[in-house]
Amino acid sequence: MARKVLIFTLIAILAISLVGCSKGDNSEVVAIVNGENITRGQLDKRVEQTAAMNGFDLSNPQMAPYLEIFELQVLDSLVDEVLLKQEAEKLNIKVTKEEVDQEIDLYKSQFSSEKEYKEYFNKYLKMSDQDIRDILGNQVLFNVLFDEITKDITSPQVDLKEYYNENKEQFYEPEQVKARHILLETKEEAEAIIKQIVEEDKDMAELAVLKSTDPSAKVNEGDLGYFTRGRMVEPFEEAAFAMEIGEVSTEPVETIHGFHVIRVEDKKEAKQLTFEEIKDELEENLIYEAKNQKFYEYMFDLREEAEIINKLEEEFNAKQQEESTQEEVPEGEENQEE
């Protein structure tokens, strides 16, 4: 399962053929990877898709300072995807239609109905059926590549008990909160939802599916599971950890994502985990870390050996350099005549 999480993190946002808005000429080349072009159209669609999947509202003024960096990060993921596809082709790694169908069925099973599945991908993520097939096909392909790269790692490289004794602080479980939320665009909408939950006793899970602008709510009904401090944006975290079990936020909580209605479902006190409690998980995690490390070293080598021209990054660096140079010029000096 850890492998699936790793690869899904890398691949789930990768959808080249998506409907989206473009800032300029769709055919403009923004990067070249071993002679293969990445265009402005591909990047703009990827940016929109990644934002939707992560619940980012690109039109929110609070996002403006981060958009350029966000775009560079998304382009970086596109470069990695191209490299991995090229490597899979070199190793003659292919996937069958049946394997992709199985992966699609797996994702469908996470939804309560075919309609809900379609609504999540088509409406919220703006993906066609072919887009979904392409993305999950890539996921299967990269899972196979990941397995091939890391197949020699089958057990931890250290003694489990010794590792536990030397790293007990890692197995201290901090305070956790389990919360459910509904994300809305406006404060007024959030206040109306709070009223429905508190005064009209409406089911929050159902409201999350119907009203939340967070795409994942269609799947998890707004359930965020357990989380520790530092995992959520600060205003959300402060509110959630200050609330009691069963409590619903009396006021909407504003973050860069919008306005949240929060209900705390459960809390866990901090505690030190024993070796027996974490033995199996520790073994799995250490194997995962070793595989993960090997995978990223492999990716690093691919990048080092590849011929990559990132035009967007070059433009960004040049702009930063120019701004830095201008800041270093003493006030008024630029107007002095020689």
Are 146 and 237 found together in one domain? no
Are 116 and 197 found together in one domain? no
Are 129 and 28 found together in one domain? yes
Q: For the range 53-61, what are the long-range contacts, defined as Cβ-Cβ under 8 Å and sequence gap of 24 or more? A: 53/12, 53/13, 53/125, 53/215, 54/13, 55/183, 55/213, 55/214, 55/215, 55/216, 55/257, 56/256, 56/257, 57/185, 57/213, 57/257, 57/258, 60/256, 60/257, 60/258
Are 139 and 189 found together in one domain? no
- The residue from 150, 166, 185 where one domain ends is 150
| pLDDT more than 70, % of the chain | 89
Torsion of CA 334, 335, 337, 338, to 10 degrees: 0
What six digits make up the tokens of 331?
């006030």
The pLDDT value given to residue 63: 78
**Phi and psi dihedrals of 72, rounded to 5?**
-65, -40
C-beta separation of 310 from 79 below 8 A: yes
The pLDDT value given to residue 333: 54
The residue range of the domain holding 97 is 2-150
Residue positions counted in the chain: 338
Average pLDDT on 8-20 reads 38
Low-confidence winner among 8-17, 44-53, 264-273, 318-327 (lowest mean pLDDT): 8-17
Sheet holding 253-255, edge to edge: 223-227, 176-184, 258-268, 253-255
Q: How far apart are CA 211 and CA 193, in angstroms?
A: 9
List the beta bridge partners of residue 124.
Answer: none
Query: Number of structural domains, the chain?
Result: 2
Are 134 and 179 found together in one domain? no
Tell me if 55 is assigned to some domain: yes
Average pLDDT on 237-253 reads 97
Are 211 and 144 found together in one domain? no
The pLDDT value given to residue 336: 52
Are 136 and 186 found together in one domain? no
Q: How far apart are CA 186 and CA 202, in angstroms?
A: 20
Q: Which pTM was predicted? A: 0.62
Tell me if 299 is assigned to some domain: no
Q: Which helix (H) or strand (E) holds 309?
A: strand 308-310
Are 189 and 240 found together in one domain? yes
CATH number at residue 189: 3.10.50.40
Tell me if 315 is assigned to some domain: no
The pLDDT value given to residue 3: 38
Tell me if 161 is assigned to some domain: no
CATH number at residue 97: 1.10.4030.10
Are 125 and 260 found together in one domain? no
Q: 167: helix, coil or strand? A: coil
Tell me if 288 is assigned to some domain: no
- The residue from 269, 288, 314 where one domain ends is 269
pLDDT band of 195, cuts 50, 70, 90: very high
pLDDT band of 117, cuts 50, 70, 90: confident
C-beta separation of 153 from 291 below 8 A: yes
- The residue from 269, 290, 314 where one domain ends is 269
pLDDT digits (tens, 9 = 90+) for 68-93: 899 999 999 999 999 999 999 999 99
C-beta separation of 200 from 256 below 8 A: no
Q: Which has the higher per-residue pLDDT, 177 or 331?
A: 177
Tell me if 17 is assigned to some domain: yes
pLDDT digits (tens, 9 = 90+) for 140-158: 999 999 999 999 999 988 8
pLDDT at 1 > cutoff 70: no
Are 187 and 143 found together in one domain? no
The pLDDT value given to residue 24: 52
Q: Which has the higher per-residue pLDDT, 331 or 267?
A: 267
What six digits make up the tokens of 53?
């999947």
The pLDDT value given to residue 45: 84
Tell me if 257 is assigned to some domain: yes
Please give the C-alpha separations between residue 323 and each of 18, 70, 314, 326, in angstroms, as whole numbers.
35, 20, 14, 5
Tell me if 163 is assigned to some domain: no
